[in-house]
Every structure is written in C-alpha cells, then in structure tokens.
Amino acid sequence: MRYVRLGPSGLKVSQICLGTWFLPRSAERDEYGIPKVNLDEFERILKYALDKGLNFIDTANRYHGAMSPVDLPHRGNSEKVLGKLVNKLGREQFVIATKVGLEMAPWPNGKGLSRKHVMWQVGESLRRLQTDYIDVYLTHTVDPETPKLETLRAFNDLICQGKVLYMGLSNTPPEDVIEYMETAREYRLHQPVTIQEGYNILRRDIEKAKVPVARRYGLAVMAYSPLAQGLLSGKYLKGIPEGSRATYFRAFKESITKESLDKVSRLLEIAMEIDVTLPQLAIAWLLHMQERLGVTVIPIIGATRFEHVQEDLEALDVKLSGEVLKRIDEVVYGQMGY
C-alpha cells in the first residue's frame, strides 16, 4: 500500500479508499422488506483491506449499504454497520470520512448546511459510528440558502471542539469551492483539504473545471464511482445479471447504453492485452491520472463481495504505458485524445 497526504494537511491516508455506499447484501430482510447488510462478509472485507494497509474509509449519514434510493427510515445504516466493525478492529487504525447535507428528516431543517443541521447531524453520525471524532467531515451537496461563511464557521467550531479533524467538500461546483476557500482564508477559518467527485474513465468532466481548482489550492480528489457504478466491471456486457445493482438502481440502469457498452468492450480488450482485469485497468488509470493532472487522486472502491476488494487492491501494482493511456483516451474521446 502507498500512502498520500490528504491535500495540504499532514493526514496520511491509503492511496485507495473503501466506500460504503453499497455493501455485501444479506439474504435476510428487515421489517420493511429491505435487504440487510451481510455483516460477516463486510467484516471479512474490512479485515483484508486493513491487512493490506488500507486505512481510509468513506461513508455518509445518508447511506444504507444495501438500498438505493434510501428512504428516511433507513438512512444512517452504513454508519451504524461501520461503527460496529471499526470499533471491533480498532478505531485509531482508521481514517473515517463521512458527509452531511442531504435530507435526514422531513422538517424544514432536516437537510442542508445550516449551523443547526450540521450540529445536529454531527452528533448523530458520532453516535452511529460509536466514536468521539470524525477524521474528515464533508459537505455532501450544495445549499444555496445557507451562506458559506455560516457553514465554514460551523465546521470550524467542530474542528476546534475536536469532534472533527478535517473538512472537505463533495459534489460542489468549482466556483463554490473557490468561494469556500477564499472565505475561509479571509476569516482565518480551517479550510477544506479535499473534494469528493464522481470520476472514472467514462466520466471525466471534472478534469476541465474542478481539477484546476483542486490543483490551485492543493486539494486532494477523492474519486467515487471509479468503476462507473459497476459498468467498468464488464459484467453488463452480456446483459443485466440477476441481483446486480442495475436491478434495483434505476438511474444506473439508464446509463447502460449501446454507446457505453461499446466503450467498455473496447476497454476490456485493452485490459486483456496487458493481462489485467477491467476493474484493475480502471483503478490503475485513476492512479496514473494524478501524475498527469498534478493533483492527488484517491479512488473510492466499493466491495459487495470479498473478491472485489482483492481484485481492486491489486491495481496498485499495475503499470500503464503512455501508449495504453493514449488508447484509453481514444476510446473515450475518439481521435482527439486527452
């Protein structure tokens, strides 16, 4: 395992992060008929990842782990599951990132980035995670109704109180990231150290606007959906497997088009030529992109099966030549290249 500093901070995190949006599903269902998370399988995954040196875990107060979209009664389940296992394995070994901002209750202050909502939800996340502090606390979305100075001051107070160690921004437009950074600088508040954005071979829009901002301020990029929700696993090339994510996540199913599958097929050919799996190619590509982009890129991998984490972590040893990177660009952009 390689370790990188999280943006301009001194915090050392593994080059690959383990996400908890989707976790191993159990055959058991709760009183609402929703599948439960398979705790034994997730513990096996977490132990293996830890043994391999992975110390960075990403979650959110909104996540359930085996359900999408998530209704109100099931929000927070991923934090609960993670809290049980992290404390069992040893809290201080892990760097835990979680998020705030999306709806957690039906009342007016049940969502957003106001001081009231942030202060309420940090307490809830700490309780669910069974911990005294959150390593990295991120805004999960934008909130145009709350001044950024109010949000920054709330996060700053949490850092001063020791409930949060570092802050970050997720799914935030580049102009908003700049405003957050400059406002924090003007008022001498703790600044964000990372942004979290969707980024993979097939989804590269952040390279044009968000990456330059991250480079300007030295922010790390936590890249979620490195396998495009599983599309870059290659398993959808022959149809939609029973029980796969596409069977219960409508938005993802709609992304499985003839054009996207054609690109996946061509990428699979490249992977086979260099004797790696398609997921390993996709993750190794992200790790190589940090050199090209001049920012730290940390892929957030998912693991609904033990074999997934084994396969994905092997991407750390995959070397991609300039010729391979050029061919990947051609698959995505045609003859234009990067």
Q: Which of 32, 48, 63, 166 is labelled catalytic?
A: 63
Query: Nearest to residue 298, comparing CAs of 179, 178, 168?
Result: 168
Helices 258-273 and 278-293 meet at what angle, rounded to 10? 90
Beta strand spans in 199-303 (E)? 220-224, 297-301
Give CA–CA dist 79/58, Å, rounded.
10
Name the residue among 37, 3, 40, 43 with its Cα closest to residue 22. 37
What does the alpha-carbon distance between residue 281 and residue 14 come to, in Å, rounded to a whole number? 19
> How far does CA 173 lie from the centroid of its chain?
17
Quick check: 251 and 21 in contact, CB under 8 A?
Answer: no
**Catalytic status, residue 236:** no
- Does the bond joining 69 to the residue before it have cis omega, within 30 degrees of 0? yes
> Please, which residues have CB within 8 angstroms of residue 307's CB and are 6 or more apart in sequence?
none
CB-based contact 319:287 (threshold 8 Å): no
Residue 225 Ramachandran class (φ > 0 left, ψ -120 to 50 alpha, else beta): left
- Beta-bridged to residue 75, according to DSSP, are none
Whole-angstrom distance, CA of residue 192 vs CA of residue 182:
11
Q: How many Cα atoms sit within 13 Å of 185 on the Cβ side? A: 8
CB 315 within 8 A of CB 308: no
Element containing residue 88 per DSSP (H, E): helix 77-89
Any idea which residues carry the catalytic annotation? 63
